[in-house]
Amino acid sequence: MNPMNTEAMRTLRHELRTPINHIVGYSELMLDEARETRADVVAEQAGQIRTQGRALADLLELALSAEHNVHAGGLGQVRPRLRSAIETALMTCEPKPGILNNRSYLEDLGRIKQALIRLSRLVDTL
């Protein structure tokens, strides 16, 4: 990808940050609710997703800064790490056995998965 102008970079940042916002935000919401109801398994899963979401945010910043800085190795070096991190997060989002009757839990996990899939598609276009 050619170096991007400021407006294009701004738009790209916005598009990439939206699914990241959903991943981190919904995992924090799930974590809050799980702590309140002492649902330890959900709390652990939500905590992992939050950590992975934050790591994805850091990787994206690295990818975007690499776009402007050829000495950082370029996007080519960051993209495989991003794909790997998204795959790992998607595996973490698999529903836990025994909680499958919790509609809110399943819906929020589904929203996070959709955000990860959207992010994956965006990364493929970088």
Partner 1 sequence: MIVLIVEDNELNRDMLSRRLMRRGFATVLAVDGVEALTLAQSKQPDVILMDLSLPGMSGIDATRLLRANTLTSKIPIIALTAHASGSDRDDALQAGCDDYDTKPVDMATLVEKLEFILTRTGALSRVV
Q: Which residues bind partner 1 (CB under 8 A)?
A: 10, 13-14, 17-18, 20-22, 24-26, 28-29, 32-33, 57, 111, 115
Closest approach, Cβ 109 to partner 1, in A, equals 13
Kindly give, in sequence order, each residue whose CB lies less than 8 Å from that of residue 11, ignoring residues fewer than 6 positions away. Answer: none
Closest approach, Cβ 97 to partner 1, in A, equals 26
Residue among 1, 7, 119 at smallest CA distance from 67: 1
DSSP 75-86: HHHHHHHHHHHH
Q: For partner 1, which is the closer residue by CB, 80 or 117?
A: 117
Q: For partner 1, which is the closer residue by CB, 77 or 119?
A: 119
Locus of tokens 């955000």: 115
Closest approach, Cβ 26 to partner 1, in A, equals 6
Task: Using CA atoms of 33, 48, 108, 53 in order, give the dihedral in degrees to the nearest 10.
Answer: 120
Closest approach, Cβ 14 to partner 1, in A, equals 5
